[in-house]
Structure 1
Amino acid sequence: MDEIYQRNSAVLAQRWPAVMQRLSAEDATSVPAQLLEGKSSTLTVAGIQLTSRHDRLAEAQTQADSLPADSPVVHLYGTGLGDLQRVLLASASLQQLQVHILNGALFALVLQLLEQQDWLSDPRVSLAYADERTEIQLPFFALPAELVLADDANARIRDRLVSEVHVDFNNQEFSPDNPENVQRLEQGRALLQSDTDVAALFGTQPGREIFVIATGPSLQQHLPRLLSTGEQAHRPLFICVDTAYVPLRKQGIKPDLVVSIDHRITSRHLPSDDTRDIALVYLPRQDAAMLQAWQGPRYVGYSTSPVYARIRQHIPRANLHVGGSVIHPAIDLGVKMGASRITLFGADFAFPGGKTHTGWQDGDLGPQMNIARHWVRDGRGNKVKTQLNFRSYLIELERYIALHPDVQFLNTSRDGALIDGTAFDPDWTAP
Structure 2
Amino acid sequence: MSELFERNGELIQRRWPKVWHRLSVENSAELRADLVDGQGSTLSINGIQLTSRHDRTREALLQAGSLPVDSPVVHVYGTGLGDLQLQLLERTGLERLYVHILNGAVFSLVLQLLDQQAWLSDSRVVLLYAGDLAEIQLPYFALPSELVLADDYNAKIRDRLISETHLTFNNREFNADNPEIAERLQASVERVRADANAAELFATCSGREVFVIATGPSLEQHFDTLRAVREQAQRPLFICVDTAYRPLIEHGIKPDVVVTIDQRISTRHLPCDATRDITLVYMPMVDPEVLGGWQGKRYVAYSASPVYRDMREQLPKAQLFVGGSVIHPAVDLAVHMGASQITLFGADFAFPNNKTHAGWNDGDLGPQVGAARHWVLDGHGQRVKTQLNFRSYLCELERYIAGHPQVAFYNSSRAGAMIVGTTFHPELTR
Deviations 1:133-172 (A, max 9, x none): 1221111110000000112221121111111111111111
Partner residue, 2:154: 154
Note the 1:249-398 alignment, pairs <5 A.
249-398=249-398
Specify the SS of the correspondent of 1:291. Answer: helix
How far is the alpha carbon of 1:178 from its aligned partner? 2.2
Partner residue, 1:93: 93
Say whether 1:176 aligns with 2:184: no
Distance 1:4 1:411 in 2: 47
Partner residue, 1:185: 185
Partner residue, 1:202: 202
Distance 2:189 2:68 in 1: 40
Say whether 1:420 aligns with 2:420: yes
How far is the alpha carbon of 1:272 from its aligned partner? 0.9
Distance 1:69 1:285 in 2: 41
How far is the alpha carbon of 1:4 from its aligned partner? 2.9
How far is the alpha carbon of 1:13 from its aligned partner? 1.8
Which of 227-236 and 161-170 deviates more?
227-236
Structure 2: gaps (5+ residues): none
How far is the alpha carbon of 1:115 from its aligned partner? 1.9
Determine if contact 2:32/2:46 at 8 Å carries over to the other structure.
yes
Partner residue, 2:407: 407
Give the TM-score normalised by structure 2. Answer: 0.97
Distance 2:333 2:61 in 1: 46
Letter of the 1:217 counterpart: P
Distance 1:259 1:233 in 2: 24
Specify the SS of the correspondent of 1:106. Answer: helix
Partner residue, 1:107: 107
Structure 1: gaps (5+ residues): none
Specify the SS of the correspondent of 2:74. Answer: strand
How far is the alpha carbon of 1:338 from its aligned partner? 0.4
How far is the alpha carbon of 1:110 from its aligned partner? 1.4
Note the 1:193-232 alignment, pairs <5 A.
193-232=193-232
Specify the SS of the correspondent of 1:328. Answer: helix
Specify the SS of the correspondent of 1:99. Answer: strand
Letter of the 1:191 counterpart: R
Specify the SS of the correspondent of 1:182. Answer: helix
Distance 1:198 1:393 in 2: 23
Sort the Cα spacing of 1:3 and 1:415 in 2 relative to 1 into closer, same or farther, 3 A: closer
Sort the Cα spacing of 1:9 and 1:426 in 2 relative to 1 into closer, same or farther, 3 A: closer
Distance 2:217 2:347 in 1: 9
Specify the SS of the correspondent of 1:188. Answer: helix
Partner residue, 2:143: 143
Determine if contact 2:152/2:377 at 8 Å carries over to the other structure.
no
How far is the alpha carbon of 1:5 from its aligned partner? 2.8
Distance 2:30 2:39 in 1: 28
Partner residue, 1:69: 69
Distance 1:19 1:229 in 2: 49
How far is the alpha carbon of 1:333 from its aligned partner? 0.3
Partner residue, 1:57: 57
How far is the alpha carbon of 1:230 from its aligned partner? 1.4
Distance 1:361 1:206 in 2: 38
How far is the alpha carbon of 1:28 from its aligned partner? 2.8
Distance 1:426 1:6 in 2: 48
How far is the alpha carbon of 1:382 from its aligned partner? 2.1
Letter of the 2:365 counterpart: L
How far is the alpha carbon of 1:259 from its aligned partner? 0.1
Partner residue, 2:163: 163
Letter of the 2:167 counterpart: V
Distance 2:227 2:340 in 1: 23
How far is the alpha carbon of 1:362 from its aligned partner? 1.0
Distance 2:308 2:83 in 1: 43
Letter of the 1:254 counterpart: K
Partner residue, 2:126: 126
Distance 2:103 2:426 in 1: 36
Could you say what the CA RMSD is over the residues aligned between the two structures, in angstroms? 1.4
Specify the SS of the correspondent of 1:153. Answer: coil
Say whether 1:235 aligns with 2:235: yes
How far is the alpha carbon of 1:41 from its aligned partner? 1.4
Deviations 1:87-110 (A, max 9, x none): 111111211100001111211121
Distance 1:218 1:243 in 2: 14
Letter of the 1:418 counterpart: M
Specify the SS of the correspondent of 2:334. Answer: helix
Which of 354-363 and 261-270 deviates more?
354-363
Q: Percent identity?
A: 64
